[in-house]
């Protein structure tokens, strides 16, 4: 397989932040709505809620021979412990998206294209801390060419409870708008 057809993203945080859900939505968006191939892997501590966890998604136009991320081009980090634990897995010069409400990047982040998204702060203002991951998904969809915004939005629609759909779609669009602003400020290599 040609290396450039393989795109990888890792979501890292703690149980209860929707880390695995974000990976699942990303993979479903790629397969069901963008007509690609994807794999999802997940790792979490035995405590589940509150312990470190991550999910990795590999997306390709071709069959994926190895399901785990080898060298993620993008990493989404939603808590400080995950930042410290998983950052070394991100490829040099890759895109690092942090929930800046919780994560305070240090000098290590200078090796990457850093985007600070105050997802938890925005989610709390919207009335539900649990939608921070959906804000991040909107942002990711806007800045990353491996998956379309439209596909991610459709996958969000199928994965969230109907009674919270309107709030989640509003959160997603908030993330997309933040991504548009970020792209205007930076030119990123995709």
Tell me the pTM.
0.92
Does 161 fall in a domain? yes
Does 78 fall in a domain? yes
DSSP state of 113: E
Does 190 fall in a domain? no
What is the number of residues in the chain? 190
Note the pLDDT tens digit of each residue in 129-152.
999 999 999 999 999 999 999 999
Note the pLDDT tens digit of each residue in 65-91.
999 999 999 999 999 999 999 999 999
Identify the domain containing residue 74 by its residue range: 3-182
Q: Domain of 70: which CATH number?
A: 3.40.920.10
DSSP state of 117: E
Does 83 fall in a domain? yes
- Round to whole Å and give the CA distance between 102 and 129: 12
Given a contact cutoff of 8 angstroms between Cβ atoms, the answer to whether 99 and 132 are in contact is yes
Does 148 fall in a domain? yes
Does 188 fall in a domain? no
Does 169 fall in a domain? yes
Note the pLDDT tens digit of each residue in 7-29.
999 999 988 899 999 999 999 99
Phi, psi (rounded to 5 degrees) for 157: -60, -35
Does 66 fall in a domain? yes
What distances in angstroms separate CA 13 from CA 35, 65, 105, 183, one per listed residue?
28, 27, 14, 24
Q: What is the CA radius of gyration of the chain?
A: 15
Give the count of domains, the chain: 1
Query: Measured between alpha carbons, how far apart are the two ends of the chain, in Å?
Result: 19
- Round to whole Å and give the CA distance between 29 and 148: 8
């Amino acid at each position: 397989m040609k290396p450039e057809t393989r795109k990888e993203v890792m979501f890292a945080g703690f149980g209860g932040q929707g880390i695995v859900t974000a990976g699942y939505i990303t993979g479903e968006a790629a397969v069901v709505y963008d007509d690609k191939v994807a794999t999802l892997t997940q790792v979490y501590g035995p405590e589940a809620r509150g312990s470190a966890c991550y999910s990795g998604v590999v997306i390709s136009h071709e069959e994926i021979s190895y399901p785990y991320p080898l060298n993620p081009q993008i990493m989404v980090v939603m808590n400080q412990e995950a930042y410290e634990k998983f950052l070394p897995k991100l490829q040099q010069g890759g895109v690092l998206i942090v929930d800046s409400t919780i994560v305070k990047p240090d000098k290590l982040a200078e090796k990457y294209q850093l985007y600070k998204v105050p997802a938890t702060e925005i989610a709390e203002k919207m009335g539900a801390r649990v939608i921070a991951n959906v804000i991040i998904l909107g942002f990711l969809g806007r800045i990353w060419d491996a998956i379309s915004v439209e596909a991610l939005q459709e996958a969000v629609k199928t994965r969230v409870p109907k009674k919270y759909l309107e709030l989640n779609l509003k959160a997603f669009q908030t993330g997309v708008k933040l991504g548009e602003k970020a792209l205007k400020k930076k030119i990123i290599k995709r």
